[in-house]
A and B are shown apart, each in its own frame.
Chain A
Amino acid sequence: GAVVSQHPSRVICKSGTSVKIECRSLDFQATTMFWYRQFPKQSLMLMATSNEGSKATYEQGVEKDKFLINHASLTLSTLTVTSAHPEDSSFYICSARDQLMGPLHFGNGTRLTVT
């Protein structure tokens, strides 16, 4: 079945630094990938839709200069949290579809802790 790999699974960084999270579709091509954020015991909040070869589409309230998304190939999207602050600490999850209007395949998520 379709597999999405996300790396790293955990990262701890200091305030003011930047962190890059990678999301790869391993056995299918994904022109679109989705980045979600999840707070403890809460639902997933869509942050942005990553589009291969073009700019990402950000949801209302998500700072595009804070959360940089790059989708340079059909199998890789990256999310960079720039100038991280403790309030950016969260669980970030990426996902992609291998068929139009089919189910989403999720990475295992990245637990970001900013100290």
Chain B
Amino acid sequence: SQQGEEDPQALSIQEGENATMNCSYKTSINNLQWYRQNSGRGLVHLILIRSNEREKHSGRLRVTLDTSKKSSSLLITASRAADTASYFCATDEETGAQKLVFGQGTRLTINP
């Protein structure tokens, strides 16, 4: 079952602006991960944040995690046209099942 809810479902911004996507989840987790998917392709892992971490950076990406609110955000700074894709959060639950549960995704469009 899907437990991640992402917001917004779609986001369209101008190149150079920052893009923020949010994700909420319902159960206790080991970690939360963000993925990117270009149309018709597989997913590419972007960043993983563990449950005991609050913020993580990777290049132009910044991820925050608030376990008390069961939410996370992904910020892409200085967006580029090539950032156009769908972005998904995924939670690694504490059940030990090792499976990831994906959110509904945010479709990001960067306009040149």
Contacts and interface: CB of A to CB of B under 8 A. Distances in A.
Contacts of A67: none
Contacts of B90: 104
B43 A104 contact: yes
B104 interface: yes
B52 interface: no
A44 B48 contact: no
Given A93-B42, A103-B45, A108-B42, A46 B101 contact: yes
A72 interface: no
Interface residue tally of chain B, by bracket?
Answer: 20 to 34
Interface residues of A, number: 29
Nearest to A49: B99
Contacts of A101: 30-31, 92, 98
A43 B59 CA distance: 26
B112 interface: no
Interface string A76-96: 000000000000000101010
Interface in B33-60: 33, 35, 40-45, 48
12 contacts: A6-B42, A32-B98, A41-B107, A43-B2, A43-B4, A43-B88, A43-B104, A91-B40, A93-B43, A97-B98, A104-B33, A104-B35
